[in-house]
Chains A and B, each alone.
Chain A
Amino acid sequence: MDTWAPIADIAAAVNDGKTTASENVEKALQNIEDKAEFKAIISLTADRARKRAKQIDEHVKSGKPAGRLAGVPFIAKDNFLTFGGETTAASNILKGFNAPYQSTAVENLEAEGAICVAKANLDAFAHGSSTENSDFFTTLNPHDKTRVPGGSSGGSAAAVVLGMAPFALGSDTGGSIRLPASFTGCVGYKPTYGLVSRSGVVAMASSLDCIGPFARTVSDAAIVLDVMSGKDPLDSTTIERSKNSYTDLELDVEGKTIGIIKEYMGEGLEPEVRKLIDAGVEKLKNAGAVIKEVSLPSLPLALAVYYIICPAEVSSNLSRYDGQRFGYSDLDAKTLEESYEMSREKGFGREAKRRIMIGTYVLSSGYYDAYYKKAQTVRTKLINEFSAAFKEVDFLLGPTAPSTAFKIGENVDDPLKMYLIDIMTVAANLVGVPSISVPCGMVEGLPVGLQLMAAQTCDRELLSLAKAFEELNV
């Protein structure tokens, strides 16, 4: 199969008239078709993609450049609202929903000439770590079809690794970009909370949701971030972006202090994964980085805190799927009450219902203080511990996940075991810091991801270190 050049080169070739956007779109659509067996894709936006490609090609022909991502095809997780097809969030309740507006992230990419060609599979409403909670089908791991690609953005990760497009978009609420990046062997980037607008992305847990790219290299991820990021008048939780380009990366690690997260390196970590992480650390050390061990004592509580705050927000955010205005509505309902009950009963899958139940419970009067409030208190403690740690070190380092990709079906009957897979990723969401998963090696033919974190708004520094590691790890 034909693979892709670096994103900057693809765009340059289109702007220079050496290739066309149309050729790129056809290539992406062909690759998607060739790899259909992996079930990474829910739907194509082919008609609109071809139309846009034609416009871009005409634009270039008329002598005007078509942007930094001119004619670069991409795939959006199907919880991004896009034109050109349905947006389902892989849920039955949103099946048939045609978005009347687009997510800001997609709008920003399109403004620089990028072209969305397809919508990728996910765990319905991004609830899960394997895509097995998709109401439609499970995506297969590109390295082993009996295994999951990780989740919830499993379709996006697999699509990039399978070469369907040079990059894909994901959302990361507790690891949903980094985990599948680790399981499939690509770069997955979760920016500082608020750096990329959430407007037009189906909300999971608003205080945790981050939008980010999947790509084959850190440089490709950086250019996508650079185009997507910035304050958005449609999302009041967005922050000002850095004045420097996120593609302007500093590769020297000499003297940079990296803290190895003690709590992530102990019990529960597969020995073979640990060996690869240790080897990665050694390479950074040899390049001149100062390595320290850092302990964040509240880290073992992060998963518990996450599984209170996340379902609380989920239960609230999913209230709007009520069968009254859009999406699935049970027409057999005889009363309003029945319409709500039956539409939601049939429209939501098991995991969505589980989270609605948990979330409703922890927000109920009488339980609010014991669960939600207490969880927020611990969250604040975590934030303080991370702030303290980032006074000591420039970066934190650990594995992205305790293991490599697990077998399809292995964890479906044990939600708790499934939740434990996120144990190393949720903290970055609770604290709001940027975090990246970069490929670090293979264990028995399966990829392992190395996770790096930096202090809030230090996205450029984090991408720099990740790129330096990527080059050291070749």
Chain B
Amino acid sequence: MSDYITTIGIECHVQLKTKTKLFAAVDNDARGAEPNTLISHICLGLPGALPVLNDKAVELASRAAFALNTKPQPFSKFDRKHYFYPDLPMGYQITQFEEPVVLGGHVDIVVNGEQKRIGITRAHLEADAGKSTHPAGTDYSLVDLNRAGTPLLEIVSEPDMHSSAEARAFAHELYLLMKYAGVGDADLYHGNMRFDVNVSVSKDPNVLGTRSETKNLNSFKSVEKAVEYEVKRQIEVLEEGGEVVQETRGWDDTKLATFSQRTKEDAHDYRYFPDPDLPPIELDQAFIDSVEKSMNMLPAEYRTQFAGLGIDPKVVEDIVNVPETAQLVARILETSGGEHAKRIAFWTVQKTDDNSDDAQAAEPDVKVDDKNLVKLSELVSANKLSSTAAKEVLKEMQKTNGDPEAIATAKNLIQESNEDELAKIVAEILAANEKAAEDVKNGEMKAIGFLVGQVMKASQGKANPGIVQQIIKKQLNI
């Protein structure tokens, strides 16, 4: 079985973060809205209704171009793709077929410590269809057109991936790129990002096998599992002497299996032609430059920066997985230096340590000021707070965004690091525990723990245990 070469290409639909729809001045955020409340004559495809392009969508597509390591095309245009379905009001979808807004580009991924470059064929703007539901046991279907006209960017990769792990890594990196570039919310749970995977297997490295396309995967895990399933299924078909059929397949998330939806024979003739209602998109150099200038830092740059701080690569990934965290750490690095950045990075990652990659990015309820975070870190640097106490203070800060020193004081967590003060206490404890002091002197280092404990007790827990130990040793001349 292992002599088969797997080839994978991915198409990804990203929902663009615009206020209004792609071609209508209607609210684009359908979450929680009653069905068919976010519609106009344009979304309904009424007679005489004409599409008018939302410039914001073009700007976001241009941002995506830079995120994909290329530039938007100065000239692109819209085409009509025809098919009949009740959730497609005009009987055609407006998309970019011949001349898309993005051509070329690439995404770099890392799998098993090795970096790999995945080519991008193209990315184009298109309007989403509405949503059809078919209530079980009824003889009708329901159509909700709230989503009809939502702007999508369809990103098409080259068939450059050869394993399920690469497919997953690509999907994940694309997700991060779109989030960082501010193109979309990339909220997988709400279907903001959907993946279609094209998989084929072949023994001959020069000839691609017949591919299947598994559509509408909405998690990285399902991308990975669907590829695995398809590779296994196709190899089995071939090993049994059969032929892989070119077809569209669906994904069953509970059975973790793909299933046949329609074969090539049922393929539509979409009769693409340029949409005469929409002038071409022409982007001048000044616009393209202004978008490039406004681009945020992307994951790769953060990774390089954080790796330079000596942060463990696994932790770096955890930081980068949440753009807000990466941006926070980078800010701290710039304003307050590596020590604080590194410490705050760890705190933040631990806070979101349930961050499995399909989970929603955990957003803190109260945004803690950068300044307060740095203050907290400074308390640790100054030995005024133990790292355990710091976490306790941080928890409180996340509720109130209060001043860390005030919180620590209120919680009685400030460590006594004044050596003169501590020396007095140590002297008293040593005097009161001669036996233990003698043991330590004789090399029974276990006893030092007891002495430290006594000092801590005497200082009501405020003593810095590290410093206490040093003073004990000093006073006992060891």
Interface residues of A in 200-216 (CB under 8 A from B): 200-203, 205-207
Known contacts A319-B91, A322-B84; decide if A236 and B273 are in contact (CB<8 Å).
no
- For the complex, is B86 an interface residue (Cβ under 8 Å from A)? yes
Known contacts A236-B279, A237-B279; decide if A320 and B82 are in contact (CB<8 Å).
no
Q: Which of A207, A235, A326, A336 contacts B86 (CB 8 A)?
A: A336
Contact with B along A329-341 (1 / 0, CB 8 A): 0000000100010
Is B89's CB under 8 angstroms from A325's CB? yes
- For the complex, is B353 an interface residue (Cβ under 8 Å from A)? no
Q: Which of B47, B53, B141, B271 has the most CB of A within 10 A?
A: B47
Q: Main secondary structure on chain B at its contact with chain A?
A: loop
Q: Which of B46, B50, B92 contacts A319 (CB 8 A)?
A: B92
Is B273's CB under 8 angstroms from A316's CB? yes
- For the complex, is A445 an interface residue (Cβ under 8 Å from B)? no
Q: Which residues of A contact B3 (CB under 8 A)?
A: none
Q: Which residues of B contact A101 (CB under 8 A)?
A: 41, 46
Q: Which residues of A contact B90 (CB under 8 A)?
A: 319-320
Q: Which of A89, A103, A365 contacts B271 (CB 8 A)?
A: A365
Known contacts A206-B276, A316-B82, A319-B82; decide if A233 and B52 are in contact (CB<8 Å).
yes
Contact with B along A174-208 (1 / 0, CB 8 A): 00000000000000000000000011111101110
Is B276's CB under 8 angstroms from A340's CB? no
Q: Which residues of A contact B141 (CB under 8 A)?
A: 336
Q: Which residues of A contact B438 (CB under 8 A)?
A: none
Is A198's CB under 8 angstroms from B47's CB? no
- For the complex, is A443 an interface residue (Cβ under 8 Å from B)? no
> Can you name the residue of chain B whose Cβ is closest to the Cβ of A326?
B46
Is B50's CB under 8 angstroms from A199's CB? yes
Q: Which residues of B contact A100 (CB under 8 A)?
A: 41, 46
> Can you name the residue of chain B whose Cβ is closest to the Cβ of A372?
B273
Distance to closest chain A CB from B26 (angstroms): 13
Is B48's CB under 8 angstroms from A202's CB? yes
Q: Which of A198, A201, A316, A364 contacts B269 (CB 8 A)?
A: A364
Q: Which residues of B contact A365 (CB under 8 A)?
A: 269, 271
Known contacts A201-B48, A325-B45; decide if A236 and B53 are in contact (CB<8 Å).
yes
- For the complex, is B277 an interface residue (Cβ under 8 Å from A)? yes
Is A320's CB under 8 angstroms from B276's CB? no
Is B47's CB under 8 angstroms from A206's CB? no
Q: Give bound CA distance, A236 to B54, whole Å.
A: 11
Q: Give bound CA distance, A335 to B278, whole Å.
A: 34
Distance to closest chain B CB from A106 (angstroms): 11
Q: Give bound CA distance, A97 to B46, whole Å.
A: 10
Q: Which residues of B contact A205 (CB under 8 A)?
A: 276
- For the complex, is B44 an interface residue (Cβ under 8 Å from A)? yes
- For the complex, is B124 an interface residue (Cβ under 8 Å from A)? no
Interface residues of A in 291-336 (CB under 8 A from B): 312-313, 315-316, 319-320, 322, 324-326, 336
- For the complex, is B51 an interface residue (Cβ under 8 Å from A)? yes
Q: Which residues of B contact A201 (CB under 8 A)?
A: 48
Known contacts A319-B91, A320-B91, A365-B271; decide if A203 and B48 are in contact (CB<8 Å).
yes
Is A81's CB under 8 angstroms from B279's CB? no
- For the complex, is A438 an interface residue (Cβ under 8 Å from B)? no
Contact with A along B12-53 (1 / 0, CB 8 A): 000000000000000000000000000001001111111111
Q: Give bound CA distance, A325 to B80, whole Å.
A: 20
Is A103's CB under 8 angstroms from B48's CB? yes
Is A236's CB under 8 angstroms from B277's CB? yes
- For the complex, is A43 an interface residue (Cβ under 8 Å from B)? no
Distance to closest chain A CB from B148 (angstroms): 11
Q: Give bound CA distance, A101 to B48, whole Å.
A: 10
Interface residues of B in 73-90 (CB under 8 A from A): 80, 82, 84, 86, 89-90
Distance to closest chain A CB from B425 (angstroms): 78
Distance to closest chain A CB from B34 (angstroms): 18
Q: Which residues of B contact A320 (CB under 8 A)?
A: 45-47, 89-91
Distance to closest chain A CB from B288 (angstroms): 21
- For the complex, is A428 an interface residue (Cβ under 8 Å from B)? no
- For the complex, is A360 an interface residue (Cβ under 8 Å from B)? yes
Is B92's CB under 8 angstroms from A200's CB? no
Q: Which of A207, A235, A236, A340 has the most CB of B within 10 A?
A: A236
Contact with A along B39-72 (1 / 0, CB 8 A): 0010011111111110000000000000000000
Q: Which residues of A contact B89 (CB under 8 A)?
A: 320, 325
Interface residues of A in 100-144 (CB under 8 A from B): 100-101, 103
Q: Which residues of B contact A203 (CB under 8 A)?
A: 47-48, 50, 277
Is A206's CB under 8 angstroms from B277's CB? yes
- For the complex, is A420 an interface residue (Cβ under 8 Å from B)? no
Q: Which of B41, B47, B86 contacts A87 (CB 8 A)?
A: B47
13 contacts between A and B (CB under 8 A): A89-B47, A94-B47, A97-B47, A205-B276, A206-B276, A234-B50, A235-B50, A316-B82, A316-B91, A319-B91, A320-B45, A325-B44, A368-B271
The 4 closest A-B pairs by CB, nearest first: A319-B91, A207-B276, A206-B276, A363-B271
Give the A-binding residues of B (Cβ under 8 A). 41, 44-53, 80, 82, 84, 86, 89-92, 141, 143, 269, 271-273, 276-279
Given contacts A99-B47, A235-B50, A336-B86, 12 further A-B contacts (CB under 8 A): A97-B47, A99-B48, A198-B48, A235-B52, A235-B277, A236-B52, A237-B50, A237-B277, A316-B82, A316-B91, A320-B47, A368-B272
